[in-house]
Amino acid sequence: MANPLYDRLFGIHAGKDTPFLHLPDGEVITHAAFLDMAARLANTLVGYELEPGDRVAVQIEKSPEALALYAACAQAGLVFLPLNTAYTVNELTYFIENSGASLVVCDDANQTALAPLAKMQEARLETLNADGSGSLMRRALGMLPAFEPARRTEDDLAAFLYTSGTTGRSKGAMLSQANLLSNAETLVQVWRFTAEDVLLHALPIFHTHGLFVATNVVLASGGSMIFLPKFDLNDVLRLMPQATSMMGVPTFYTRLLGDDRFTGDLAQHMRLFISGSAPLLAETHERFETRTGHRILERYGMTETNMNTSNPYDGERRAGTVGFPLPDVEMKVTDPDSGETLPQGEIGMIEVRGPNVFQGYWQMPEKTAAELREDGFFITGDLGRVDEDGYVHIVGRGKDLIISGGFNIYPKELEMLLDDQPGVLESAVIGVPHPDFGETPVGLLVAEPGATPDLDAIMARAQAELARFKHPRKLIVLDELPRNTMGKVQKNALRARFADLFT
């Protein structure tokens, strides 16, 4: 094959007048129309003199055109680099510099702010707005709707997704065509997706879940998606009767359960509800079954590996577990210090190996070596155990990470900012339970001797520099931070002390 990713996800739909995207206003975009749009965009990208392997960084709202840009990058052999729309210019600077992107695509509204950065990086800057307007599509509309896919192999890179690190510095996870294809094709089988499926798609398309799990699975199966710009409860309730399946983060399910309009009748015809990206409380699983009769299928994955485990389609979907390793994924639980495999049932570090595991962190050989073993096992940073029936339980995190509504927040990044503020001696950021987002960050500060930190000013600083979802929900001044004998801050003690702040 000339270009496996394009051929197996997109090319297979050439010329088909079958629905691919159902938009909330009722408009339907067929596979053929979508591929026309992608080919026009691929011609546009090549017209900018981009070469296979070049990075295309995009920070744009979810739209059919944004998805077509992903397809166009696959077709032209470019590395697609989607970025959270919540990132500030400050945060974007690092991603654009670090990736060496040749093209940056943003909203018209951000063009002025990003222009100096793009210029400094010698990157081209084009725009694509939520309504499909902007310089990129303007040019694409004048292009031919046909494009010969660039020759690529399964080992070539398809995408970079940036993931934060415990040191506070983001790392570009390099995903090959094989990483994406193997996972998509496995998931189609294990979750029984077919051309009859209509997936209710309310996730963002800048992360693994919405792009590589939801979209790639639908593409590989030939089904269609109800493509919502975001999770809007009214739209989801209105359109669920036309869907067969839904994928979401736990917040989607708690929000549905919080609304009386979400009844068993509304969900009765649905084939499958899938949850992931953050722990689904066993209580949510049970309430969902009581309300609808459906057992949510929970699975476990991450940016570096796509999906690793899944509860079974046919067998028991066990609440509070993430099911079994996928058919082509090997998993072991190891001693975090020695790396030795632990006996079944013991809690340790989850490690995974398979065609889904990424190619390493872009230009960070030491970080890659620290997490990806030479024998191919990836050290996930998640702590878990396998029960007597083989179900994997995630019991905690070896990495200092907060997951809010499915978005990752690395405390270190917030702590570095808080430590820098006037009157602050030191800080610790912890995740505490939150009824809507699962967890939310709280900043604990210790004042310099004799100083009184201005909490409003510090919050304003955090708001100016960090994406909205990372903002500490509360700042609290403490006399001191609890430390163990080694001098390490005891975050567990702090999490226990502040566990009830929002519940």
Query: In this structure, which amino acid lies at residue 390?
Result: G
Could you list the residues that contact ligand AMP (CB under 6 A)? 163, 208, 276-279, 298, 300-303, 322, 380-382, 394, 397, 403, 408
Q: Coil, strand, or helix at residue 283?
A: helix
CA distance 287 to 292: 9
Residues of this chain, 11-70, that bind ligand MLC according to CB under 6 A:
none
CA distance 477 to 455: 9
230 binds, among ligand MLC, ligand AMP, none (CB under 5 to 8 A by kind): ligand MLC
Specify the pairing of strand 297-302 against strand 272-275: parallel
For residues 184 and 219, is the Cβ–Cβ distance under 8 A? yes
Report the residue number, 412 or 474, with the smaller CB distance to ligand AMP: 412
Phi, psi values for residue 402, rounded to 5° = -115, 135
Closest separation between CB of residue 299 and ligand MLC, Å? 7
Q: Which DSSP helix (H) or strand (E) runs through 497?
A: helix 491-497
Among 62, 209, 285, 318, binds ligand MLC (CB under 6 A): 209
**256 to 295: interface string for ligand MLC, x by CB under 6 A:** --------------------xx------------------
Question: CB under 8 Å to 496, separation ≥6 — which residues?
Answer: none
Three-class DSSP labels, 336-351: CCCCCECCCCCCEEEE
Closest separation between CB of residue 362 and ligand MLC, Å? 18
Which among 366, 361, 398, 405 is positioned nearest to 382, based on CA atoms?
A: 398
**Cα angle vertex 193, ends 192, 197, to 5°?**
135
Residue 301 is a binding residue for ligand MLC (CB under 6 A): yes
The CA distances from residue 17 to 28, 185, 190, in Å, are 11, 23, 27
CA distance 93 to 120: 10
Residue 483 is a binding residue for ligand MLC (CB under 6 A): no
Report the residue number, 235 or 454, with the smaller CB distance to ligand MLC: 235
Report the residue number, 3 or 404, with the smaller CB distance to ligand MLC: 404
Residues of this chain, 213-252, that bind ligand MLC according to CB under 6 A:
230-231, 249, 251
Residue 310 is a binding residue for ligand MLC (CB under 6 A): no
The CA distances from residue 477 to 404, 451, 489, in Å, are 23, 11, 15
Closest separation between CB of residue 490 and ligand MLC, Å? 25
Closest separation between CB of residue 75 and ligand AMP, Å? 26
204 binds, among ligand AMP, ligand MLC, none (CB under 5 to 8 A by kind): ligand MLC
Closest separation between CB of residue 198 and ligand MLC, Å? 20
Closest separation between CB of residue 277 and ligand AMP, Å? 5
**Cα angle vertex 269, ends 268, 272, to 5°?**
90
Report the residue number, 129 or 305, with the smaller CB distance to ligand AMP: 305
Closest separation between CB of residue 187 and ligand AMP, Å? 14
397 binds, among ligand AMP, ligand MLC, none (CB under 5 to 8 A by kind): ligand AMP
Closest separation between CB of residue 314 and ligand AMP, Å? 19
203 binds, among ligand AMP, ligand MLC, none (CB under 5 to 8 A by kind): ligand MLC
Report the residue number, 237 or 446, with the smaller CB distance to ligand MLC: 237
The CA distances from residue 93 to 53, 100, 106, 458, in Å, are 21, 11, 13, 22
Q: Coil, strand, or helix at residue 245?
A: strand
- Which DSSP string do the residues of 97-157 spell out, in sequence order? HHHT-SEEEE-HHHHHHHHHHHHHTT-EEEE--TTS-SHHHHHHTTS-S--PPPP--TTSE
Report the residue number, 157 or 401, with the smaller CB distance to ligand MLC: 401
Among 63, 170, 208, 254, binds ligand MLC (CB under 6 A): 208
Q: Which residue stretch of 36-44, 65-73, 299-307, 382-390 sits at the interface with ligand MLC (rule: CB under 6 A)?
A: 299-307
Among 406, 431, 443, 453, binds ligand MLC (CB under 6 A): 406
Specify the pairing of strand 19-22 against strand 224-227: parallel
149 binds, among ligand MLC, ligand AMP, none (CB under 5 to 8 A by kind): none
Report the residue number, 7 or 439, with the smaller CB distance to ligand MLC: 439
Query: In this structure, which amino acid lies at residue 149?
Result: P
C-beta atoms surrounding 84 within 10 Å: 19
CA distance 257 to 292: 10
Closest separation between CB of residue 268 and ligand MLC, Å? 24
Q: Which residue stretch of 60-68, 315-323, 399-407, 420-428 sits at the interface with ligand MLC (rule: CB under 6 A)?
A: 399-407
Among 207, 285, 318, 353, binds ligand MLC (CB under 6 A): 207
By CB atoms closer than 10 A (0-12, 13-18, 19+), residue 396 is: exposed
Report the residue number, 384 or 453, with the smaller CB distance to ligand MLC: 384
72 binds, among ligand MLC, ligand AMP, none (CB under 5 to 8 A by kind): none
Give contact residues for ligand MLC (rule: CB under 6 A): 203-204, 207-210, 230-231, 249, 251, 276-277, 301-303, 404-407, 437, 468-469
